[in-house]
Each structure stands twice: as structure tokens, then as C-alpha cells.
């Protein structure tokens, strides 16, 4: 009996003491869980250390106190009535009176120009609303081609407010929503939206989603474990040791000071399913081992334990690979995932030991049906090793080409929880009123009024005059377009707006374009690119604002994640080769584990117009980390069997019998646990989970078909001398 076995045997005499120690450790890890926060900051999603991100940070910081853009979309399917328009005007005035609102732009604040022959500075919408007169005056105002968006259509109108949302954004939004009650009482629908409202909505839904995902995940994974193992006791043995890892992950996030985000809320559940997969290997191995219980446990832990530890390391490496991204949110995801993988395995092995002493079943065959299927599949592939090997390589090359020709795509609105009114409202605003986001064009420091006019003209030609908010448009309204607005006239604009149009600190000239998020559709992306090109070609210094960051930051993100995937692949394969001291296995490991990832990475060509989103790219990196786990278990058993009797075919048979069935079961189990993501109210979480599931099944098939074939070709399994 080795020293380790002696120690294991000693611990098996006091399982409750061990469980008590683990409980204390877990409580310590949860010590700061009360500080856990939830975050959906759009800037943190997209910003990196690129020059554009730095410019955006500087712009946000410069105007940090000017408030948030909030839009009130008022719609009436049957067309707006006089009463509804009057109620909307009262709402606009109530907003003006709200202490947190600094300015309001609405159809009611439009006035005819001072030099209008019959109605100088008269409100375009008169106090007494007669629908015929109203539309006639609006048409007359639009005919002046000043460039102001009227903000009213036959069945919808929009009010734009600059609001200090403060710390409790949700409460402020709720208070503003109450002001809209009289409009709703007139039969119109009112939706409050805007960049910060979107953020607040996502944040409010995150906590709910985290709890739901974990609870349903535990339930589904447990059911699949019972189904696969055919024994409730074995299932408990597989599931129970994985729970501390999941719980500890939430505690770790609090200790690290990382907020839970749309991405990181899947990590606890991910740790659970990875833990149960390891628990499955351990419990099946224990069930198949004979002898006194302490020896069976020691044998199981010394046989499967090192492989489990190695799988945790490769999973951690996959998470660490994400740190190549300078994006703060992704880095936190990587750090939390890597530390959670290591802490989870640190809790899982002793937990398994303690639970095994209390619940271990008598020796019995387990997972034999799955093992038979896996063995037959592997044997079939091994019998035609070269054909399968060549086919695998061809598929690898095709998949790699497909993956690298995908297009980075990141629609932020897809992060809105399912059923939210904001997505259709944003679409409506994009279609009729330009959009809820503002791109800012910044002129060079020495730009003149003529330079500004030239840039505004160029952008208006592409974006349409009514989408562009500029000092030039106000000058047109004043009838003095040949010179900049006088300080008095500039002072007639809301202070938060005039400061951004003409910076009082350094005199920088800017103008804004209302638009939807660029990656809402191909058309919106094309429009954004055309606007940006026109502005830069006309002499603008830079184009900033959330749409610019969304446009370019998303591409950077996906590129960084792809780099992370490559690093994870190389590092993971190298670690496994190093652990087995067979560097000749490196190409085999890379092919076998990259093949499923690249296959799923190329899938967007089939169903998403070749668009690769960050959640899917992230899933591929994590999938590699998990997929290589199966390869480790398979190779571990193959190499041990080969060392025992030196026959490759026999060693492969043994490996397939011992590990193949469990690999199939763990894949089923992971599927059961991860399928919970489709219940997430966030579509990207569902995409993440489905991409992960698809990758894991592809990985299983690769491990059962391509790996056996490649192992039978040449002598890669031979230990390098």
C-alpha cells in the first residue's frame, strides 16, 4: 500500500470529520457572498484598451454628469388621437418638471424659425390640437428642411429626455414610468428605453436567471445521472461531490470582487456539470472495483483522481487563455472560471472520498450498455484506421477554413431578457426616429465653422438630415448658417447638449447621429460604416459613442476570443503530452480536440449567415477545455493498459471499455446540465449552452472514432526515450 493509499485509508475512518472540514471551508468561501453584485455595463462589454475604447472612456468621463439619454416611445395602433397627443404633451411637461430630468426634446418643443413669415417662433404643434391643422403645420415645418426630427408619426411619437438616473437607475425609471400612466389611460402604449434603460433591464434580470439556471441545472443533471447509472445511490455519489464546487464559484466571485454578468452567470452551472462528469468517472470506477471499501476508494482515487486533476488543469488553462483579451469583463470571466475549476476539483476529490465512505454501493457493473456501444464504435474506426484518419484530417481542414471565414457579430440588444418590450420599441425607434443610440463625430482641435459644416453636410448626405443633431442645424433654424451660433443662441439649447456640441473647456466641435446599434442588421451595419467613412473623409478627427464601440469592439472581442482558443488548444495539448511524457502525441491531441471545436465554430455558416458571436466563440474555448477531458481519461486508460500488456489493439479495447461508456454518459450528463441554458431569459446564454453541447457531442464522436483510428496509426503512443 502506497503512502497516499495509507492516508486515504486513514481518512475513510472519519468521513464526517472530513465533511465538517469541507463545510467550514465552503462557509468561508461564501463569507462575502452578501457583497455580490450584478452588472450589465455596456461599456464593460465592449471596451478594451484600443485607441477607440480610450477615446470613448475619455468622452464618457468628460460628460459623466450630463445624464443618460432616455426615450419615451408612445404608440397607438389605430393612430394617435387628439387626447393621446395632449396626454403626451402633458407627459413631456411633467418630465420637464421632474427633478432628475435635465432636458426634454419632443415634438411639442419644435418651433418655427424666427424668420418665418407668418409664425415666427410659434410652436409647430399648437395648444389647441386639431388633427388637420397639426399635420399641415408639421408638413410645413418639414418642408423648411432645417434637419430637426419632428418625432411624430401618425401612430407614434417620441419624447427624448436627459435624465440623471443616479445609483438606483431602476427606481428612477419606475418613477418616470409612473408619469406615463395618464397616456396609457388614453389607450396608448408607452415604452421607456435608451442605453441605460437597456442596461438596467438586463441587470434586474441577471439575479433571477442565475438562481433559476443553477436550480434547474442541478435537477436536470441529477436526473440524467440516475438515468445513466441506473442507480440513485451511484447518481448521488456522482452529483453530491460536485455541488460544493458550484456553490464555491458564487462565493469566489464575491471574494474576487467580480460582479455577475450575462456571461459569468453560467460559470457556477458549468462547474457543476464538469464536477458531475468527474464524479461519474469516479463513482463508476468505484462501482467496478472490488475489495474492502478503503482499498476500493483508494484505488479509484489513485486511478481516476490524477486524470480528474489534469482535466481541471486543462479547463483552467482554457479559461486562462481568455485573458489574452484586454476586455475587463472577459478577463474577469477567465479569472473566475480558472480559479473556480481549480477550487472545484480541490473540493470534489475529498468530498467524493467522504461521500463514498458513507454511500458506496457494493461492487457491481455500471454503464455496461454505453461501454458496449462505445467499444463497437471505436473498434469499427480502429479497423479502418487510415481511412478514418484521412477523413478526419479532411474534415479538420474544411472546418478550420469555415471557422476562420466567419464574421464577428455582436448585437447587444440580444442580451435583453426574453419578453422585454425594449427590443421591439428599439426597432420601432430605429425605423421611424433614427434610433436610441448616438454616434458622436468629433472635429479636429483647429476645426473651423466651415470644416464643421462640410463634415455635417457629408454625414447628412449619408444618414439623412433628420438623424443628425448639429450646431449647423440650429444655425439653419436661426437663418444664419454662414456663421457659428452666438453664445446667446447657443445658450438657448439645453446645457448638456450645447456642451457636447461645442465643448466649453477646449472648444472641440462635435455633432451626433441617432442610430440603432450597428449590428442590428446588415443594413444598419452598412449605414454605420457609410456614416463613419463619410465623417472621416470630410475631415472629422474621430467617430466615437456607443455605436462606434459596439461596431469595432465586437470585432476585437471575437478576434481575441479566437486567439484565446488557439492558445487554449496549444497549452491544453502540451499539458496533456507533458503529463503523459509523450510529446509525439501533441499533433494527435491538437487534431482530436480542435476538430469538434472547429466544426461547431464553422456551423454559423449553416444557420447564422456566417456570423460568429462572442458567446459562441467563448463556448468554443470552454468546450475545448472540457472536450480534452474525455481525451485525457481515454488516453490515461489506454496508456496504462498499454504499459501493462504492450498490445495497442488490446489497450484500445480496454480503454474503450473502461472510459468510452463513461465518456458517453458524461456527455449525456453535461447535455442534461447545460440544456438548462435554453431556459435562460438571455438568448446569448442559450446560444452559449447550445454551442457547448454541440461541441461536446462532436468531441465525443471524435474521441470514439478519430482518436482510436489515429492511435492505431504509427507509434505515437510509444513513450519517447
Partner 1 sequence: MNARLSLAALLIGIATPALTDPLADMAGGWSGSGIARKSADAPEEAVRCRLDNTWETENSRLRIRGRCAVPGRSFEVHGALARRGDGRLRGFWSNPDGPGQTSISGRVEDQKVEFTFSAKDPATGEDVSQIVRWTLEGDVLRFVSWHRVEGVIMADITLER
190 or 340: whose CB is closer to partner 1? 190
Query: Shortest distance, CB of residue 475 to partner 1, whole angstroms?
Result: 18
8: its cell numbers: 486515504
Query: Shortest distance, CB of residue 91 to partner 1, whole angstroms?
Result: 10
Question: What residues contact residue 117 under an 8 Å CB cut-off, 6+ apart?
Answer: none
Tell which one of 41, 96, 140, 503 touches partner 1 (CB under 8 A): 96
Phi, psi (rounded to 5 degrees) for 153? -125, 175
Query: Shortest distance, CB of residue 94 to partner 1, whole angstroms?
Result: 6
| Rounded CA separation 340/264 (Å) | 11
Tell which one of 46, 72, 108, 437 touches partner 1 (CB under 8 A): 108
Query: Shortest distance, CB of residue 107 to partner 1, whole angstroms?
Result: 9
Contact 516, 524 (CB under 8 A): yes
Phi, psi (rounded to 5 degrees) for 635? -65, -40
130 or 609: whose CB is closer to partner 1? 130
148 or 688: whose CB is closer to partner 1? 148
216: its cell numbers: 434547474
Query: Shortest distance, CB of residue 171 to partner 1, whole angstroms?
Result: 20
Query: Shortest distance, CB of residue 117 to partner 1, whole angstroms?
Result: 14
331: its cell numbers: 478577463
Tell which one of 41, 94, 140, 155 touches partner 1 (CB under 8 A): 94
Angle at 57 between CA 169 and CA 505, to 5 degrees: 100
Contact 543, 524 (CB under 8 A): no
Give the residue from 627, 699, 629, 688 showing the smallest Cα distance to 269.
688
Stretch that binds partner 1, among 61-69, 121-129, 207-215, 693-701 (CB under 8 A): 121-129
111 or 648: whose CB is closer to partner 1? 111
123 or 539: whose CB is closer to partner 1? 123
317: its cell numbers: 488553462
Tell which one of 105, 183, 213, 286 touches partner 1 (CB under 8 A): 105
Intra-chain end-to-end CA distance of the chain, in Å: 29
Stretch that binds partner 1, among 106-114, 198-206, 397-405, 552-560 (CB under 8 A): 106-114
Stretch that binds partner 1, among 119-127, 143-151, 248-256, 303-311 (CB under 8 A): 119-127
686: its cell numbers: 442559450
**Interaction of residue 126 with partner 1, rule CB under 8 A:** yes
Question: Please, what is the angle between helix 243-256 and helix 15-29, to 10°?
Answer: 30
DSSP 367: S
83 or 421: whose CB is closer to partner 1? 83
**Cα distances (angstroms) measured from residue 69 to each of 150, 156, 195, 275, 333:** 17, 19, 7, 45, 29
40 or 172: whose CB is closer to partner 1? 172
**Interaction of residue 97 with partner 1, rule CB under 8 A:** yes
How many angstroms separate the most distant Cα atoms in the chain? 104
105 or 287: whose CB is closer to partner 1? 105
Query: Shortest distance, CB of residue 491 to partner 1, whole angstroms?
Result: 11
Contact 48, 325 (CB under 8 A): yes
CA quadruple 394, 400, 405, 409: dihedral positive or negative?
Answer: positive
Q: Which run of H or of E encompasses 558?
A: helix 546-580
Query: Shortest distance, CB of residue 337 to partner 1, whole angstroms?
Result: 50
Query: Shortest distance, CB of residue 86 to partner 1, whole angstroms?
Result: 8
| Rounded CA separation 462/591 (Å) | 48
184: its cell numbers: 396609457
159: its cell numbers: 419624447
DSSP 484: P
**Interaction of residue 93 with partner 1, rule CB under 8 A:** yes
Tell which one of 18, 22, 52, 92 touches partner 1 (CB under 8 A): 92
47 or 101: whose CB is closer to partner 1? 101
Query: Shortest distance, CB of residue 469 to partner 1, whole angstroms?
Result: 15
**Interaction of residue 119 with partner 1, rule CB under 8 A:** yes
Tell which one of 106, 278, 498, 562 touches partner 1 (CB under 8 A): 106
Contact 260, 324 (CB under 8 A): no
**Interaction of residue 176 with partner 1, rule CB under 8 A:** no
| Rounded CA separation 582/570 (Å) | 15
**Interaction of residue 104 with partner 1, rule CB under 8 A:** yes
Query: Shortest distance, CB of residue 110 to partner 1, whole angstroms?
Result: 8
Contact 162, 103 (CB under 8 A): yes
Size of the site for partner 1 (CB under 8 A): 20
State the Cα torsion 181-183-186-187 to the nearest 10°. Answer: -90
| Rounded CA separation 24/44 (Å) | 35
**Interaction of residue 109 with partner 1, rule CB under 8 A:** yes
Query: Shortest distance, CB of residue 125 to partner 1, whole angstroms?
Result: 8
Binding string to partner 1 for residues 72 to 91, with x set by CB under 8 A, is what? -----------------xx-
71 or 104: whose CB is closer to partner 1? 104
Stretch that binds partner 1, among 105-113, 287-295, 334-342, 419-427 (CB under 8 A): 105-113
Query: Shortest distance, CB of residue 141 to partner 1, whole angstroms?
Result: 14
Residues that bind partner 1 (CB under 8 A): 89-90, 92-94, 96-97, 104-106, 108-109, 111, 119, 121-123, 126-128
Amino acid at each position: 500500500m502506497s503512502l497516499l493509499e495509507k492516508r486515504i485509508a486513514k481518512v475513510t475512518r472519519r468521513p464526517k470529520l472530513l465533511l465538517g472540514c469541507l463545510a467550514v471551508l465552503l462557509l468561508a468561501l461564501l463569507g462575502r457572498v452578501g457583497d455580490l453584485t450584478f452588472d450589465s455595463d455596456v461599456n464593460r462589454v465592449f471596451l478594451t484598451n484600443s485607441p477607440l475604447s480610450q477615446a470613448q472612456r475619455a468622452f464618457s468621463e468628460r460628460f459623466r454628469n450630463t445624464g443618460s439619454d432616455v426615450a419615451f416611445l408612445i404608440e397607438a395602433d389605430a393612430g394617435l388621437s387628439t387626447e393621446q397627443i395632449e396626454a403626451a404633451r402633458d407627459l413631456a411637461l411633467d418630465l420637464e418638471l421632474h427633478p432628475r430630468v435635465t432636458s426634454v426634446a419632443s415634438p411639442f418643443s419644435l418651433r418655427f424659425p424666427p424668420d418665418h413669415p407668418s409664425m415666427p417662433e410659434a410652436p409647430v404643434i399648437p395648444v389647441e390640437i386639431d388633427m388637420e391643422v397639426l399635420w399641415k403645420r408639421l408638413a410645413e415645418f418639414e418642408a423648411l428642411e432645417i434637419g430637426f426630427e419632428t418625432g411624430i408619426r401618425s401612430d407614434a411619437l417620441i419624447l427624448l429626455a436627459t435624465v440623471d438616473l443616479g445609483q438606483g437607475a431602476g427606481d428612477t425609471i419606475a418613477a418616470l414610468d409612473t408619469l406615463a400612466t395618464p397616456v396609457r389611460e388614453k389607450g396608448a402604449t408607452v415604452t421607456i428605453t435608451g442605453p441605460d434603460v437597456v442596461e438596467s433591464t438586463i441587470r434586474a434580470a441577471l439575479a433571477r436567471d442565475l438562481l433559476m439556471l443553477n436550480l434547474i441545472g442541478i435537477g436536470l443533471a441529477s436526473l440524467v445521472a440516475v438515468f445513466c447509472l441506473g442507480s440513485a445511490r451511484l447518481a448521488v455519489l456522482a452529483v453530491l461531490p460536485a455541488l460544493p464546487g458550484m456553490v464555491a464559484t458564487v462565493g469566489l466571485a464575491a471574494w474576487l470582487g467580480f460582479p455577475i454578468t450575462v456571461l459569468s452567470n453560467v460559470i457556477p452551472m458549468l462547474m457543476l456539470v464538469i464536477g458531475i462528469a468527474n464524479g461519474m468517472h469516479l463513482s463508476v470506477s468505484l462501482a467496478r472495483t472490488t475489495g474492502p471499501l478503503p482499498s476500493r476508494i483508494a484505488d479509484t482515487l489513485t486511478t481516476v483522481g490524477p486524470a480528474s486533476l489534469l482535466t481541471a488543469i486543462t479547463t483552467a488553462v482554457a479559461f486562462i487563455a481568455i485573458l489574452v483579451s484586454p476586455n475587463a469583463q472577459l478577463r474577469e470571466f477567465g479569472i473566475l472560471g480558472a480559479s473556480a475549476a481549480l477550487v472545484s476539483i480541490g473540493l470534489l476529490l475529498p468530498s467524493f472520498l467522504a461521500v463514498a465512505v458513507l454511500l458506496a454501493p457494493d461492487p457491481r457493473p455500471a454503464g455496461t450498455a454505453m461501454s458496449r456501444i462505445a467499444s463497437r464504435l471505436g473498434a469499427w474506426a480502429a479497423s479502418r484506421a487510415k481511412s478514418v484518419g484521412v477523413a478526419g484530417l479532411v474534415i479538420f481542414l474544411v472546418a478550420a477554413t469555415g471557422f476562420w471565414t466567419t464574421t464577428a457579430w455582436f448585437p447587444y440588444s440580444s442580451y435583453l431578457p426574453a419578453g422585454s418590450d425594449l427590443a421591439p420599441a428599439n426597432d420601432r425607434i430605429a425605423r421611424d426616429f433614427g434610433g436610441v443610440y448616438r454616434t458622436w463625430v468629433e472635429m479636429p482641435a483647429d476645426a473651423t465653422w466651415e470644416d464643421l459644416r462640410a463634415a455635417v453636410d457629408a454625414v447628412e448626405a449619408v444618414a439623412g438630415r433628420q438623424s443628425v443633431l448639429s450646431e449647423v442645424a440650429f444655425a439653419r433654424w436661426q437663418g444664419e448658417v454662414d456663421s457659428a451660433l452666438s453664445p446667446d443662441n447657443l445658450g438657448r439649447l439645453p446645457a448638456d447638449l450645447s456642451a457636447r456640441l461645442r465643448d466649453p473647456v477646449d472648444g472641440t466641435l462635435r455633432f451626433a447621429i441617432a442610430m440603432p446599434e450597428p449590428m442590428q442588421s446588415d443594413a444598419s451595419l452598412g449605414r454605420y460604416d457609410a456614416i463613419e467613412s463619410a465623417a472621416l473623409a470630410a475631415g472629422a478627427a474621430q467617430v466615437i459613442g456607443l455605436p462606434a464601440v459596439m461596431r469595432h469592439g465586437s470585432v476585437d472581442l471575437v478576434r481575441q476570443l479566437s486567439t484565446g482558443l488557439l492558445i487554449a488548444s496549444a497549452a491544453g495539448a502540451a499539458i496533456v503530452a507533458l503529463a503523459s511524457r509523450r510529446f509525439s502525441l501533441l499533433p494527435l491531441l491538437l487534431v482530436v480536440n480542435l476538430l469538434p471545436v472547429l466544426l461547431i465554430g464553422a456551423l454559423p455558416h449553416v444557420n447564422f449567415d456566417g456570423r460568429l458571436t462572442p458567446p459562441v466563440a467563448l463556448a468554443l474555448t470552454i468546450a475545448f477545455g472540457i472536450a480534452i477531458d474525455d481525451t485525457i481519461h481515454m488516453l490515461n486508460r489506454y496508456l496504462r493498459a498499454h504499459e501493462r500488456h504492450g498490445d495497442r489493439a488490446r489497450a484500445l479495447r480496454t480503454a474503450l471499455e473502461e472510459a468510452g461508456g463513461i465518456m458517453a454518459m458524461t456527455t449525456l450528463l453535461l447535455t442534461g446540465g447545460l440544456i438548462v441554458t435554453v431556459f435562460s431569459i438571455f438568448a446569448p446564454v442559450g446560444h452559449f449552452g447550445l454551442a457547448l453541447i454541440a461541441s461536446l457531442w462532436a468531441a465525443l464522436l471524435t474521441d470514439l472514432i478519430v482518436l482510436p483510428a489515429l492511435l492505431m496509426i504509427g507509434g505515437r503512443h510509444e513513450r519517447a526515450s
